[in-house]
Structure 1
Amino acid sequence: MQVFNNTSKVIITCNKRLAPYLSQEVEELGFENIRVFPTRVELNASLNDCIKLNLNLHCASQILYSIKSFQAQNGDDLYREIASIAWEEIIDFNGYVSVNSNVTNETITTPLFANLKVKDGIADRIKARKGLRPNSGPDLHKTVIHLYWQDTQAEVFIDTSGETLAKHAYRKHPGKAPMLEALASGVIYSLKWDRQTPFINPMCGSGTLAIEAALIATGRKPGLFRMNYGFMHILGYQEEVFFEERRQLKARIDKTKKIKIIASDISEEAIELARKNAKTAGVDTLIDFFVQDFRKTPIEPSPGVIVFNPEYGDRLGVHSKLELVYKAMGDFMKQSCRGYMGYIFTGNPELAKKIGLRASRKIEFYNGRLDCRLLEYELYEGSKR
């Protein structure tokens, strides 16, 4: 089974509301999206194509390569269909396999039962052909198989990513209530920012928004920070394909780009973490960090963008104090950021009312399970007229 060169259905998953930005990334890589759903993009690609996709996408979570779709009424049907696949041509009998699933079937009370049926089908098939069963467990660092089973329709995939792509591997020091890197990328893509003018990020926390802005502006891809993926543990993998793709990633970095990115936070600890994360990401020389109240953040001449990601009041801070903070953010943008596009990312609509500015756009995101908005403000030099 020459899966690395054979084209099949590929599903790229993402967090809810990131699909438009993921779809844009996929198209910019030269692939054609067949369908776009709220949490995934579907296309046709080979496993070698999946190497390129894994290394380049900022907004993706998992990249799933379809092996087989089939009908299954119950666990016995599932086992029989799984055992009919030539796994000995896909997985090394000395390897390690983990299985995860998305299951809605009336005969299954827990996905763990479906996972076990898939593991048994794989292991029994390989043992019958090779005399040994591969090891299995929950870790995602080697071969990962994904089962999608809805009612009687099932499909089994190779998870070519393994560990999630939504974490970009440079953030060794997350800090308090961090924004997921894939979400931060989606936020950057949604801004009216030309990646040339200043990017200002007060309340930067551990620096994720500022770092992602620097990465995107200079063409640095998440694949630069990671050396292990699920596709590496599939029979037929050629490491030269991977290293050639990484070479191209490095060659496409714009090392001459001059861009002003400023990140500030009142917490000295947060700024220290942000500096470390930026250094790991290779963009520490592109970001000016300041320990200070957001109202003292230096603002470059307009135009530019200023992006806040304040506390929402659900996990951190005190609500009454945050009302004053939100009002102060609005006052600061109105008085000190004229000519800029202003943005505030929040999951608290009541606090958002305290900003005191009329949003020109309200862009929908989810931060985990929390329904959030990125509020956009046009900060005119004079009157709007």
Structure 2
Amino acid sequence: MATIISNFAQLTMQVFNTPQKVIITCNKRLSPALQQEVQSLGFTIKRAFATGVELLADVNDCITLNLNLQCASQILYSIKSFEAHNPDELYRQIKDIAWEDILDFNGYFSVNSNVNNETISTPLFANLKVKDAIVDRIKEKKGVRPNSGPELNKAVIHLYWQGNEASIYLDTSGETLAKHGYRKHPGKAPMLEALAAGVVMATDWDKSSTFINPMCGSGTLAIEAALIATNRKPGLYRMNYAFMHILGYDELVFFAARRKLKDQIVKNVDLKIIASDISADAIKIAQMNAKTAGVDQLISFEVCDFEKTSVPHTAGVIVFNPEYGERLGVHTQLELTYKRMGDFMKKDCQGYNGYVFTGNPDLAKKIGLRASKKIEFYNGKLDCRLLCYELYDGTRRKEKADD
């Protein structure tokens, strides 16, 4: 396989039509949702792991994946895999690749990496060796030195180097896919869009019953719910990807894929999404974000304490993302808030499925309800849980007791 890839690297790089190994990365514990998304697009997953999936695809396929995936971070197209024991070997292997057939010699590229090699004290040095190899190769072949730097808004090369095994990829995404592009006003401590999408998917919400998000902050959970229910994909909100800056890019393929996104939007949905927050400023920010996403008409925003949030007498889900407080040492005010959340769900949300996303297990105990499930997530580096509560009404509680 290494020989095949090496030979491939010597040929004119028809990357847009040549299937190779593709790695799609995601935040830790979003892999199950990512797998579901990839398979729904008709791709076959060869390998799944904690922070992503592997499949066989060409760069035109990567265009489709970039535009559609809600839980992904980066989509990496493999160019070459090889052994490298030190920076000099890394340089030689990378310089051997026909970069003049991949990158515009008058263009711009950047390098990022995931490196763990005993000869490297900082990934920045590995990045520099990759950059030097690419620049030197193109200068020899074309007589011009391409520009490079840290910005991810043009072509992006990714190095994965663990031990003595190295792989070089085209990062077809550039800026992370985990940000979906509509949130121009992030607000205070916002949940990353990809994580919010994963949380909504984990609730098993049917996309038609009521969705309630008290303490909504900048509105990310409610907006992601509306996007999922109407089949609006992240590619609708973004017009620049790294694949656009690779030689051979055909913008007709991109615009055809983007037109398909518009055609598949579900319109005229009978849907009730309610988002509330005690802060009028937070609600204003959430409304602006929802308008940018094109779903402001689908969400009812309320300025109120969470206990005053409207709860229609129907089935549905209610999702809280409260403050977590410090990991060690519980704050009395937050203890009371978590207790009030439990009382509110028990008293006013009967017939719903309740969910609380938290990174503080001590505070979670103050909710006072028994979780039927505890789904693991990470919010950044913080170990979190989505706690699930079945909030039976009187009839359902009696039926359960009779079973």
* SS of the residue 1:157 aligns to: strand
Give a deviation string over 1:277-300, Cα, whole Å, max 9, x none: 000000000000000011111111
- Shift of residue 258 of structure 1? 1.3
2:230 is matched with 218
Normalised by the size of structure 2, how large is the TM-score? 0.94
- Shift of residue 314 of structure 1? 2.7
- Shift of residue 192 of structure 1? 2.6
Q: Please state if 1:108 is matched with 2:90.
A: no
| Alignment check: 8 A CA contact 1:192 1:341 kept | no
> Alignment partner for residue 28 of structure 1, among 2, 17, 40?
40
1:358 is matched with 370
1:298 is matched with 310
Q: Please state if 1:335 is matched with 2:342.
A: no
> Alignment partner for residue 287 of structure 1, among 268, 274, 299?
299
- Shift of residue 318 of structure 1? 7.8
Letter in 2 for 1:331: D
1:69 is matched with 81
| Alignment check: 8 A CA contact 2:208 2:271 kept | yes
> Alignment partner for residue 129 of structure 1, among 115, 120, 141?
141
CA distance in 2, matches of 1:115, 1:46: 25
CA distance in 2, matches of 1:287, 1:253: 17
Letter in 2 for 1:140: L
| Alignment check: 8 A CA contact 1:302 1:338 kept | no
| Alignment check: 8 A CA contact 1:206 1:270 kept | yes
* SS of the residue 1:345 aligns to: strand
Letter in 1 for 2:96: S
| Alignment check: 8 A CA contact 1:97 1:143 kept | yes
1:3 is matched with 15
Q: CA RMSD in A?
A: 1.1
> Alignment partner for residue 333 of structure 2, among 308, 315, 321?
321
2:101 is matched with 89
1:199 is matched with 211
* SS of the residue 1:91 aligns to: coil
Give percent identity, aligned residues only.
72
1:240 is matched with 252
CA distance in 2, matches of 1:117, 1:220: 41
Q: How many residues align?
A: 384
Q: Please state if 1:376 is matched with 2:388.
A: yes
CA distance in 2, matches of 1:13, 1:192: 23
- Shift of residue 363 of structure 1? 0.4
2:290 is matched with 278
* SS of the residue 2:45 aligns to: coil
Letter in 1 for 2:234: P
- Shift of residue 253 of structure 1? 0.1
Displaced runs of 4+ in structure 1, greater than 6 A? none
Q: Please state if 1:146 is matched with 2:153.
A: no
Normalised by the size of structure 1, how large is the TM-score? 0.99
CA distance in 2, matches of 1:343, 1:177: 19
| Alignment check: 8 A CA contact 2:287 2:296 kept | yes
CA distance in 2, matches of 1:209, 1:285: 16
Give a deviation string over 1:122-160, Cα, whole Å, max 9, x none: 011111111101000000000100000111110000000
* SS of the residue 2:208 aligns to: coil
- Shift of residue 116 of structure 1? 0.7
Give a deviation string over 1:66-110, Cα, whole Å, max 9, x none: 000011111111110101000000000001010011111111111
| Alignment check: 8 A CA contact 2:218 2:289 kept | yes
Unaligned stretches of 5+ in structure 1?
none
CA distance in 1, matches of 2:40, 2:174: 24
Unaligned stretches of 5+ in structure 2?
1-12
CA distance in 2, matches of 1:201, 1:109: 45
1:158 is matched with 170
> Alignment partner for residue 254 of structure 1, among 260, 266, 271?
266
CA distance in 2, matches of 1:73, 1:298: 62
Letter in 2 for 1:374: L
